[in-house]
Amino acid sequence: MNDLPLFVLDDVLFRLELKSLAMMRCTNKFFQSYISNDSDFQIAYFAMYKIEPIMFHLDSCGDHYIFCYPLGSSCDSTSYGRKNRIGIRNRLYIFGSCSGLLLLYINGLFVANPLTKTYRILDHSGSKLIPRIVDGLNLSDPFLHMERAMCVGFAVNRNQTTKRFKIVGILEMETVYGFEINDGDSWRLSETSITTSTKSDLTTNMKHVYLDGTLHWLRNDGSIIAFDSETEQARLIPSIFHRKQDMKLLFATDDKISRLTLISGTEETISVYTLVENSKWTLSRQINIVSMEGNIIVRLSPETQKLGGDWEDLFRIHWNMVAYDGKFLVVREMRRITSRGLVHLYDMEANSWRILGSIWCGYGDIRNFYKFTPSLLSVEKDEQTKVLIASDDQRIPYLTEVMGLIDTTMGSGIGPNVVSNIVTIY
């Protein structure tokens, strides 16, 4: 089969369901390389079977519960809803998702591909940043240090055949920014650092954004720290955005036009801004919240406002925008008095809202939504450098539970007619 013309080989491989295709990678080195590394083949295969991006949602509050909800309107929510429990307390966190790989912390640092069920264990002791972040998980308040987790960036170049991922930590020192890098083997400080003329902190709890090989971090003044994961050069994008009080904010990308976006929300409208020429945020769209299905996000009644203080906060609706990709906008809201919340989905093309589902919401916890784009990239180490894992390693069952959310059997979670899923981890 190695000698078949590629168009004939593609015709054969396109007839395989995803589980069989993953098994085909193990037959010889040629198929391993072609199926795993050829992005054009994967794009065509996934498009044919309508395998589209998924959303991971992590809520680290006590034991972790995993829920799976469909995001596409064509899916039957009762068909693909799942619930799993991971009996591990305050020791699981997602640092990033890129090109089908997840950067996870489960009592240790992992890079994993849930689709191929492959993973690597990384030694994070050489990092200056990550130990300071995850040490907060040992405290009574697991979120004391995790608010700085947005300083960890995760980049994957799908065209590379070796060392295809990089972990980049941004080190803040007043007006100076340094970077530490891990490309799978060890941690090192980048030779690049940048100095800004004004001090402005990175926006707390705002995830990094990966676009066209570059990691981006948003600062409070609207400017952006950009780090090219290939050249390892950094620069400041001197954009300005005036954030008003009580304004919700989300930093994301519009995958349809490959541009950085900044989304601001008030109680009346959500505004989508696009970064033009690396300097100006231009308003590209406004979304009316009043038309939201269920009309959940509303002001407090005058009677409730008169209560004031803790009583007012008890009845207040807390909400924020959690994910955006140019096609969908995801908004979650919760009421402290009930500890229950709803996830709303806005379809940019259909110009309509719908309720995605309900979730349990612990008040004041940190929420993370990550877009996961399925791929067949392998992350195992070479045999010469492969780390031996003890058979009783307690972390592996937890990792298996997370990866088990992605089912390689067609028609079960990922397969024909499945547009995408949203995964909630409590």
Distance CA 16, CA 410 (A): 10
DSSP-derived letter for residue 226 is: E
**Taking the C-alpha atoms of 33, 37, 39 and 43 in order, what is their torsion angle to the nearest 10 degrees?**
70
**Predicted structure pTM score:** 0.82
**Most confident of the ranges 78-92, 249-263, 275-289:** 249-263
Tokens of 95: 């640092």
Label residue 143 exposed, middle or buried (CB < 10 Å: 0-12, 13-18, 19+).
middle
Q: What is the per-residue pLDDT for 58?
A: 65
Segment 94-112 mean pLDDT: 89
Q: What is the per-residue pLDDT for 164?
A: 80
Distance CA 236, CA 239 (A): 9
122 DSSP β-pair partners: 109
Strands 54-59 and 421-425, bridge-based pairing? parallel
Backbone angles phi, psi at 149, to 5 degrees: -65, -20
Domain spans of the chain?
49-57+80-240+371-419+422-426, 246-365
Q: Report whether 330 contacts 338 (CB < 8 A).
A: no
Q: For residue 41, what pLDDT band results from cuts at 50, 70 and 90?
A: confident
Helix, strand, or coil here: 77? helix
Q: For residue 297, what pLDDT band results from cuts at 50, 70 and 90?
A: low
Distance CA 88, CA 86 (A): 6
Tokens of 101: 């790989």
Distance CA 160, CA 165 (A): 9
Tokens of 90: 């305050």
DSSP string, 149-207: GGGEEEEE-TT-SSS-EEEEEEEEETTEEEEEEESSS-EEE-S--EE-SS--PBPTTPP
Amino acid at site 265: G
Compute CA distances 330 → 23, 136, 260, 318, 368, whole Å: 35, 28, 17, 15, 12
Task: Report CA torsion sign: 358, 398, 101, 260.
Answer: positive
> pLDDT at residue 20 above 80?
yes
Least reliable range by pLDDT among 81-95, 144-158, 255-269: 81-95
Q: What is the per-residue pLDDT for 17?
A: 84
Cβ-based neighbours of 158, under 8 Å, separated by 6 or more: 37, 39, 99, 164, 375, 377
Q: For residue 86, what pLDDT band results from cuts at 50, 70 and 90?
A: low
Q: Report whether 366 contacts 109 (CB < 8 A).
A: no
